[in-house]
Structure 1
Amino acid sequence: MKKLLLSLSIACLGLAAQAQDFKPAKGDVTTEFGLAGGLNNAEFDLNEGLLRFRYFVKSDLAIRAGFNVSNFSNTDNIYGVVGSPNENKVGYNKDSETTLMINLGVEKHFAGTDRLSPYVGADFLIGSTSKKESRENTLGGNYVENEHFERKGPGSFGFGLRGVIGADYYIAKRLYLGAEAGFGFMSSKDGEVTTTTTTGGTTTTVTNKSAGKNFGIDSSIITAVRVGFVF
């Protein structure tokens, strides 16, 4: 009988230890990706916090960092009119925009269950945007030789604070799905706009000062579904 009770005790301890292995411990690092479309129509999404890391200072306290970089670029070729001396020449219209967002923060995790880890946290946000337009040998959508136009800006730089609440659910050992919502503010300032125009061999450069500042407070689902791994 004693041997049976001892065996049951060891088995229970083993199961308890195995259950505790689902969640990260002190010194663990997690990385995760935003998942758009839910689980039935999943695809990785270039939205805020696409790639995020967490370092667990303690089993219930983590430092987190998120990164999001997006770039848009479009080029349209403008050809000379067929039958004209410029028939085989080409100009272009090009637009590009790059956005960078970084968040640095902390999370406090609560007991939850063996697999569920709810938490609250806070982020400090830093973001910037740069824009550029170029028109080479084009004017009014037509090919015109020796025409040049370039506009840099308005870029922007901003910062903010955000409170978050979320939860991770461990579907397997050291593999989890998560959801998170946040509420906070973001303040940003537009940069200068520099325009350079060349027409008939004459180049003119004009710089306009910042158009002003923006401030907003909002709530949002930061990423509807996240897939994460513990290392």
Structure 2
Amino acid sequence: MKRIILSALVAVFSLCANAQYEAEEGDIAVEVGFNPFSNSFNTIKLNGGSINARYFFSDKNAARVNLGFGYSSSSDKIEKKDVSKYSGSFSIDLGIENHFASVGRLDLYAGGQLGIETTFGGAKLGDTEISGVCLGTGWTMGDSNYDNCSTIFSLSAFTGANFFIYKKLYVGAEFGLSFTRRATKDYEVKYENKTEKHETNWSNSSIGFYSEPALHLGWVF
């Protein structure tokens, strides 16, 4: 009899312990990138310049959103002419997760997501201005060290694991299979006395496995 009672208490305790770590309906989780092996000061940072969040609309299912934004600009003077350039990107990914198994502090999940990313950029040298290109770091007006800005669509299936190191605090990793299609944008060059518009009809598709370059560190609220 004592063994039966002890076994029951252990089972109840285990369920309670698991419940402390599992996310529940109505919970919100926010994540940042985490690289414990980094030798720089970038050990913790936003994942690729993005904010990642998930909302649990049931105990086992969550909607997720990744919002990304990046921007950089620089200016200089070449042959007494002012030179400036800028480039940036914006992305959004929407997905669904199913948290199909929880073993102690370990949470396993799988799901799918759709994403879109757009890049933008341009430069100006004196009276000449170009827009619709994303410039390389060593770019100067007239050379070919640039990429056309583009729009990228993606469709991904993924799986991942989160390990709760403390109640509502977890570290995890994710990998998956992604299909992407990229289409370049037209660009425009404005001279002092005329404007040239260039159409680009180039696009390509690719499919392949991906993995996060770093762990993610998350908080559940």
For structure 2, the residue ranges without an aligned partner over 5 or more in a row are 133-147
Asked if structure 2 preserves the Cα contact closer than 8 Å seen for 1:48 and 1:67, the reply is no
Aligned-partner Cα distance in 2 for 1:229–1:44: 14
After the TM superposition, which residues 16-55 of structure 1 pair with which residues of structure 2 at under 5 Å, given as runs? 16-36=15-35, 38=37, 43-45=43-45, 47-48=47-48, 50-55=50-55
Q: Which residue of 1 aligns with 2:56?
A: 56
For structure 1, the residue ranges without an aligned partner over 5 or more in a row are 81-90, 137-147
CA 1:45–1:164 in 2, change beyond 3 Å: closer, same or farther?
same
Aligned: 1:196 with 2:175: no
Aligned: 1:158 with 2:148: no
Aligned-partner Cα distance in 2 for 1:46–1:216: 26
Q: Which residue of 2 aligns with 1:144?
A: none
Aligned-partner Cα distance in 1 for 2:36–2:85: 29
1:164-203 Cα deviation digits (max 9, x unpaired): 11101000000000100121111121111110012xxxx1
Q: Which residue of 2 aligns with 1:116?
A: 106
TM-score (norm 2): 0.82
After the TM superposition, which residues 61-76 of structure 1 pair with which residues of structure 2 at under 5 Å, given as runs? 61-76=61-76
Q: Which stretch of the first structure deviates more once superposed, 16-25 or 118-127?
A: 16-25
CA 1:48–1:123 in 2, change beyond 3 Å: closer, same or farther?
farther
Aligned-partner Cα distance in 2 for 1:49–1:59: 29
Asked if structure 2 preserves the Cα contact closer than 8 Å seen for 1:35 and 1:45, the reply is yes
Q: Which of 160, 177, 183 lines up with 1:183 in the alignment?
A: 177
CA 1:111–1:49 in 2, change beyond 3 Å: closer, same or farther?
farther
Asked if structure 1 preserves the Cα contact closer than 8 Å seen for 2:32 and 2:46, the reply is no
CA 1:101–1:38 in 2, change beyond 3 Å: closer, same or farther?
farther
Aligned-partner Cα distance in 1 for 2:202–2:43: 37
Aligned length, in residue pairs: 205
Q: SS of the residue aligned with 1:110?
A: strand
Asked if structure 2 preserves the Cα contact closer than 8 Å seen for 1:48 and 1:101, the reply is no
Identity across matched positions, percent? 26
Asked if structure 2 preserves the Cα contact closer than 8 Å seen for 1:179 and 1:226, the reply is yes
Aligned: 1:167 with 2:161: yes
Q: SS of the residue aligned with 1:32?
A: strand
Aligned: 1:209 with 2:199: yes
Q: Which stretch of the first structure deviates more once superposed, 166-175 or 212-221?
A: 212-221
Asked if structure 2 preserves the Cα contact closer than 8 Å seen for 1:34 and 1:50, the reply is no
Q: Which stretch of the first structure deviates more once superposed, 7-16 or 219-228?
A: 7-16
Asked if structure 2 preserves the Cα contact closer than 8 Å seen for 1:34 and 1:51, the reply is no
Q: Select the structure of larger CA radius of gyration.
A: 1
1:82-119 Cα deviation digits (max 9, x unpaired): xxxxxxxxx32111111112110011112231210111
Asked if structure 1 preserves the Cα contact closer than 8 Å seen for 2:49 and 2:69, the reply is no
CA 1:223–1:64 in 2, change beyond 3 Å: closer, same or farther?
farther
Asked if structure 2 preserves the Cα contact closer than 8 Å seen for 1:130 and 1:156, the reply is yes
Give the letter for the 1:149 counterpart: T
1:118-164 Cα deviation digits (max 9, x unpaired): 1111110111000111112xxxxxxxxxxx11101132112120111
